[in-house]
Amino acid sequence: MATQDSANTASTSFIKSRRSSLIAAIFLMATSAIGPGFITQTATFTATMGAAFAFGILASIVIDFIVQQSIWRVITVTNMRASDIANKAIPGSGYLLAILVIFGGLVFNVGNIAGAGLGLNAMVGLDPKWGGILSALLAIYIFSSRKASNFIDRMIIILGMVMILLTVFVMFASNPPIGEALRQTVLPDSINFATITTIVGGTVGGYICYAGAHRLLDKGTTGIENIEAVSSAATKGILVVGLMRYILFLAILGVVASGVTLDISSHAANPASQAFQHAAGLTGLRIFGLILWAAALTSVIGAAYTSMSFITVFKKGITERQRNIATIIFIAVSLAIYMMMGTAPAALLVFAGGFNGLILPIGMTLFIFVAWRRQDLMNGYKYPAWLLWSGILVCVLTWYMGIMSVGAIFNYLKIA
């Protein structure tokens, strides 16, 4: 009887632990995707494309779903980090993937710190530079804590919920033309590949697509026996990101549709801030500041954590403490670059999404190759045919979009 009770207790503990790690992975991926670049890109493209941008959002959600399902499954089944999987598949490719992801994460993190500064400026009027410094120092403090892992999980869940609820409030305040938005979601007046590549990169490109999967790996939630739970978590993460993006789009569309012209004449402009202020006055501006700051801080944490999870490919046996130190250094370097840069934060935020969108097809192609041709790495798992063929289609599509839009993406760095 005692043995049975002990077994039941152990089983309950395992289920709770797995549920906790899955929720943490969902929100780490989602809050990494819902960063200041996400907000700035959505505002910029809604201002230029209006309701037609809805199709770009739908396309990004479909692509995100296939990418996350593919990458999370392969990492879970192989029980290896992305760079190690790549090296096993094609020797040396893991080092290239790690370098690209770390560099892309660094570009994003500079933008994230800039976004945190802009958020505190809108929320309390603090100088953006000081706001960026304080936010980066807070992130450094979190990773220096001995209980960093649990603190990160709780913080990203709370801030993620705050962002969603506040954006819903502003959406209702802006009174968007929902019918027109729904129509153009499937029948757009225009399609822009650079836009789709940029927003895909901002929600699942670069380090973002590995954030949740690597978190699950660190928590020990791996193996074929966990594949259904992991697949469900990946789907929920994409739904959270897709819901937040569409709500934010509607909030800004309501302002644009009312006849208000958002200033995007200079990359130094902040169209999202303008939209929130038009929708709800000074309260809207303060809400925007809180949303942007929360999005930026969670993205600083997500970008730094995931980027540094790739350094193990260069040196095996790195402890969690050593990786936290490397993460602190990564944030400090990001802060130093932010303090020295001359590029406007909004320009960098949009460019970061586009650059990570260019990285996406490289990693995705490697993972589809493993799922298709390297059954020796898949531990006997039969990869779903629908996911394999849709993954191949996404590879072709993201390569095409990347090639077609690379020039336009780098033009985002030019200051008007």
- Express each pLDDT in 278-319 by its tens digit: 888 888 889 888 888 888 888 888 889 889 999 989 988 888
Residue 400 CA to residue 355 CA, distance in Å, equals 14
Query: Does pLDDT of 16 surpass 80?
Result: no
Q: Are 207 and 330 in contact, with CB atoms under 8 Å apart?
A: no
How much is the pTM?
0.82
Instruction: Give me the mean pLDDT over the 151-173 stretch.
Output: 80
Residue 148 CB-half CA count within 13 A? 20
Instruction: Give me the mean pLDDT over the 67-89 stretch.
Output: 92
Residue 117 CA to residue 121 CA, distance in Å, equals 6
Q: Which one of 18-22, 63-67, 144-148, 386-390 scores highest in mean pLDDT?
A: 386-390
pLDDT for res 60: 83
pLDDT for res 190: 82
161 — phi, psi (to 5°)?
-65, -40
pLDDT for res 280: 83
pLDDT band at 416 (very low <50, low <70, confident <90, very high): very low
User: How far is CA 75 from each of CA 82, 83, 210, 227, 393, rounded to the nearest angstrom?
Assistant: 7, 10, 9, 10, 20
Query: Does pLDDT of 326 surpass 80?
Result: yes
Q: Are 331 and 136 in contact, with CB atoms under 8 Å apart?
A: yes
DSSP one-letter string for 107-170? HHHHHHHHHHHHHHHHHH---HHHHHHHHHHHHHHHHHSTTHHHHHHHHHHHHHHHHHHHHHHH
pLDDT for res 148: 64
Query: Does pLDDT of 268 surpass 80?
Result: no
Instruction: Give me the mean pLDDT over the 169-196 stretch.
Output: 86
Architecture of the CATH domain 24-412: Up-down Bundle (1.20)
Q: Which one of 35-44, 86-95, 147-156 scores highest in mean pLDDT?
A: 86-95
Q: Which candidate, 94, 32, 47, places its Cα nearest to that of 241?
A: 32
Q: Are 231 and 237 in contact, with CB atoms under 8 Å apart?
A: no
Q: Are 194 and 342 in contact, with CB atoms under 8 Å apart?
A: no
| In the chain, where the domains are located | 24-412
Spell out the residues 6+ positions from residue 39 whose beta carbon is closer than 8 angstroms to its own.
115, 248, 272, 291, 292, 295
DSSP one-letter string for 229-246? HHHHHHHHHHHHHHHHHH
Query: Does pLDDT of 415 surpass 50?
Result: no
Q: Select the more confidently predicted residue: 266 or 153.
A: 153
Residue 226 CA to residue 399 CA, distance in Å, equals 31
Q: Using the 8-state DSSP alphabet, how is residue 319 labeled?
A: -
Q: Select the more confidently predicted residue: 2 or 204.
A: 204
Tokens standing for 359?
Answer: 């990285």
Residue 139 CA to residue 305 CA, distance in Å, equals 11
Residue 233 CA to residue 23 CA, distance in Å, equals 7
pLDDT in tens, 371-384: 998 988 998 888 99
Q: Are 116 and 36 in contact, with CB atoms under 8 Å apart?
A: yes
Instruction: Give me the mean pLDDT over the 335-352 stretch.
Output: 72
pLDDT in tens, 101-126: 898 889 888 888 988 988 898 899 89
Q: Using the 8-state DSSP alphabet, how is residue 226 labeled?
A: G
Q: What is the helix (H) or strand (E) element at residue 355, kind and residue range?
A: helix 345-373
Residue 53 CA to residue 241 CA, distance in Å, equals 16
Q: Which candidate, 29, 104, 81, 56, places its Cα nearest to that of 200?
A: 56
Residue 211 CB-half CA count within 13 A? 33
pLDDT for res 344: 57
Residue 278 CB-half CA count within 13 A? 23
Query: Does pLDDT of 173 surpass 70?
Result: yes
